[in-house]
Chain A
Amino acid sequence: MAVLSQLIANGLIAGSIYALMAAGFSMMFSIQRFMNIAHGATYVVGAFSAYLFAKIIGWPFWIAFPIAIAVATLLGILINHIVFEPLQKEKDKNLALLLASFGMFLLIESIILMIFGADVKSFGLPVERGMDILGAIITPLQLIIIITAPVVFIGIWLFLKKTLVGKALRATSDNTVIAATMGINIRAMTFISTGLGSALAGLAGILVALEQNLEHSMGMSAILKGLTAAIVGGIGNVPAAILGGYLIGLAENLGIWYLPSGYKDAISFVILIIFLLFRPQGFFGMKKREEVAE
């Protein structure tokens, strides 16, 4: 029983991070319609700027972390503006954007590597005794992750449902052309979705950096999990992506009950492939309406 609670707790912790990544990825996808791998680099930049400001320079967390999130946000917007937006005009833009975002991801990752070096870094926070919650041992930091994520998600949900900008975002994601004719500024929507999505990645990076370690290569697995979660949930749909994130987190951690723990990564990709084949619209996604030929 204790093992099960622990695995579920671990699943929720991992799931929170995946859900944050997936929500950001999906928010950008809903407007721009391409798989932005560079989102993983934004996550790494969030983590390393937090490390730079808080640990190396020594600013207090409450100043360092918001600035780190701002750096991640700006980076996301900047890459989109310089590299991705011009490529949107390409005819075969999916391929061009997918590869270019892979390229940008690698470029940023290698710049991080050159600045910070290859060794594993840590905030070196004092290890606090975990609390026993229903048989699972959870440290205060882990509890912060488990609580922060849903709070952020409720915020996103309220933003999308209640505010004018949120409604405009949803309208744009439904149908760009109609939204544009209704007078919604599509470029502004791209700007906002990219900024928000990148901020979420930055936050996820900081949370992971606090709880675990920092490595320049931490982004690839994060973006692949986030992307998997977004597809499993239903791509382009933010709430579905969040649920997908928790689902993947739980599946991975419960899966190692049966499999050697080294196979943790493989589990999510097996799930990804199964979904791509049998339910490409995801768990909660609607089946694309077939176009009436004529």
Chain B
Amino acid sequence: MIETYLLHLFIIACLYVILTTSLNLAIGYTGLLNLGHIAFYAIGAYTSSLLALNFGVPFWIGALAGATLAAIVGYLLSYPTIKLKGDYLALGTLGFSIIVESVLKNWVSLTRGPLGLPGIPKPSIFGFAIDTIPKYALFGLILAVLVYIVLEIVVRSPFGRVLQAIRDDEMAAKTLGKDTFNAKAKALALSAFIAAIGGSYYAHYVTFIDPTFFSILETILIFSMVIVGGTASMLGSVAGAVLLTLLPEPLRFLPFPSSIIGGMRQALYALLLVLVIRWRPQGLIGENTFKKFKNGVKR
């Protein structure tokens, strides 16, 4: 069964590649400290699961519906929050994600609350059923590669250049005639769209979701992956996602109860995050997230 286990890890790694690269678009390239990414992931997972369970909607339509909904929410979220700067934006988006989590827990008639949604069907795309682990791994690989390519093209395009300019100095970008609000809102919408795709991908893989999947801890996990991999580098995000998916796995074989293992896993993520911020702010690959270049000499 070792192959199944390894393939399972691969499927999870693909999920985190999708989540971290899309989060990096917001954090690393646009400078939006978005602590609410997991809410978009949740919207994707719940939308396509509910559509599949209640109306038998095919996977790809459900996933697109969830992603579109998340993109709209992301775009709308930018109206109130985008004027917030730095850590205030972080708090605002964190608040948003907690509100979404609390709606998932409490809108019982729709989401079944803490009981979660069991029996989510495995996806089938144009008659091709993705019902085995190897097939799902292939599906995950295709999806992750696709997401990676799309994002890499976007960040290298003129639009991506504008995003990076906004990250470096929004005021200067404005005086060059860039509609920075619009660009940030679009970047957030794209980031949300992709996160939601990740949500559908995961929900239909594990076939069961509940609100605990979408807690702050998950946010911090993907944040750690982005920081450890290195911001403003898509390749860094892939490396961070894969590394942090695999690194705690050996813990699984230690002879401790699962709560202790869970604690060790969390401690490992947290320790890595702190160590990287403190001693290797550029992460594995990428730019120093926390260094602002001295812009000229202050007189």
User: Is A–B contact present in the complex under a CB 8 A cutoff?
Assistant: yes
Report A-chain residues with C-beta under 8 Å of the C-beta of B213. none
- Check if B106 is an interface residue, CB within 8 A of chain A: yes
CB distance from A263 to the nearest CB of B (A): 6
Known contacts being A83-B274, A96-B281, A110-B270, is A272 close to B91, with CB within 8 Å?
yes
B residues 252-287 in Cβ contact with A at 8 Å: 257, 259-260, 262-267, 269-271, 273-274, 277-278, 281
Report B-chain residues with C-beta under 8 Å of the C-beta of A113. 259-260, 262-263, 266
- Check if A280 is an interface residue, CB within 8 A of chain B: yes
State the CA gap A193–B266 with chains docked (Å).
29
State the CA gap A117–B281 with chains docked (Å).
33
Known contacts being A109-B266, A231-B91, A269-B95, is A277 close to B84, with CB within 8 Å?
yes
- Check if B181 is an interface residue, CB within 8 A of chain A: no
Report A-chain residues with C-beta under 8 Å of the C-beta of B298. none
CB distance from A9 to the nearest CB of B (A): 24
State the CA gap A204–B239 with chains docked (Å).
41
Q: Which of A90, A95, A111, A263 contacts B33 (CB 8 A)?
A: A95
State the CA gap A93–B90 with chains docked (Å).
14
A262→B106 contact, CB < 8 A: yes
A104→B270 contact, CB < 8 A: yes
Interface string of B77-97 (1 = CB under 8 A from A): 000110110111011101110
B84→A103 contact, CB < 8 A: no
State the CA gap A83–B294 with chains docked (Å).
24
State the CA gap A98–B273 with chains docked (Å).
11
A34→B87 contact, CB < 8 A: yes
State the CA gap A107–B271 with chains docked (Å).
6
Q: Which of B92, B106, B257, B263 contacts A110 (CB 8 A)?
A: B263
A114→B90 contact, CB < 8 A: no
Known contacts being A91-B292, A113-B263, A266-B99, is A280 close to B270, with CB within 8 Å?
no
In this complex, the interface size class of chain B, counting residues with CB under 8 Å from chain A, is: 35 or more
B residues 238-262 in Cβ contact with A at 8 Å: 257, 259-260, 262
Known contacts being A106-B217, A118-B262, A273-B95, is A98 close to B87, with CB within 8 Å?
yes
User: Which of A's residues lie within 8 Å of B, judged by CB?
Assistant: 34-35, 83, 86-87, 90-96, 98-100, 102-107, 109-111, 113-114, 117-118, 216, 220, 224, 227-228, 231, 260, 262-263, 265-266, 269-270, 272-273, 276-277, 280
Name which residue of chain B comes closest to A276, CB basis: B92
CB distance from A198 to the nearest CB of B (A): 18
- Check if B178 is an interface residue, CB within 8 A of chain A: no
Known contacts being A118-B262, A269-B98, is A83 close to B278, with CB within 8 Å?
yes
Report B-chain residues with C-beta under 8 Å of the C-beta of A260. 106
Name which residue of chain A comes closest to B272, CB basis: A103
Report A-chain residues with C-beta under 8 Å of the C-beta of B257. 117
A266→B263 contact, CB < 8 A: no
- Check if B237 is an interface residue, CB within 8 A of chain A: no
Name which residue of chain B comes closest to A106, CB basis: B270
Q: Which of A102, A263, A266, A273 contacts B273 (CB 8 A)?
A: A102
State the CA gap A86–B278 with chains docked (Å).
8
CB distance from A116 to the nearest CB of B (A): 10
State the CA gap A35–B94 with chains docked (Å).
13
A103→B266 contact, CB < 8 A: no
Q: Which of A83, A110, A273 contacts B264 (CB 8 A)?
A: A110
Interface segment, one of B9-17, B63-71, B219-227: B219-227
CB distance from A103 to the nearest CB of B (A): 4
Top 7 nearest A-B pairs by Cβ distance? A113-B263, A106-B270, A118-B259, A103-B273, A107-B270, A262-B106, A269-B95
Known contacts being A91-B290, A265-B98, is A100 close to B278, with CB within 8 Å?
yes
A90→B84 contact, CB < 8 A: no
- Check if B182 is an interface residue, CB within 8 A of chain A: no
Name which residue of chain B comes closest to A93, CB basis: B290
- Check if B103 is an interface residue, CB within 8 A of chain A: yes
CB distance from A221 to the nearest CB of B (A): 9
- Check if B180 is an interface residue, CB within 8 A of chain A: no
CB distance from A287 to the nearest CB of B (A): 15
CB distance from B25 to the nearest CB of A (A): 17
Report A-chain residues with C-beta under 8 Å of the C-beta of B299. none
Report B-chain residues with C-beta under 8 Å of the C-beta of A105. 270
A110→B267 contact, CB < 8 A: yes
- Check if B102 is an interface residue, CB within 8 A of chain A: yes
Report B-chain residues with C-beta under 8 Å of the C-beta of A34. 87
CB distance from A206 to the nearest CB of B (A): 22
- Check if B8 is an interface residue, CB within 8 A of chain A: no
Question: Which of B81, B92, B269 gathers the greatest number of chain A CB atoms within 10 Å?
Answer: B92
Known contacts being A35-B87, A96-B277, is A91 close to B291, with CB within 8 Å?
yes
A96→B102 contact, CB < 8 A: no
State the CA gap A228–B113 with chains docked (Å).
25
B87→A273 contact, CB < 8 A: no
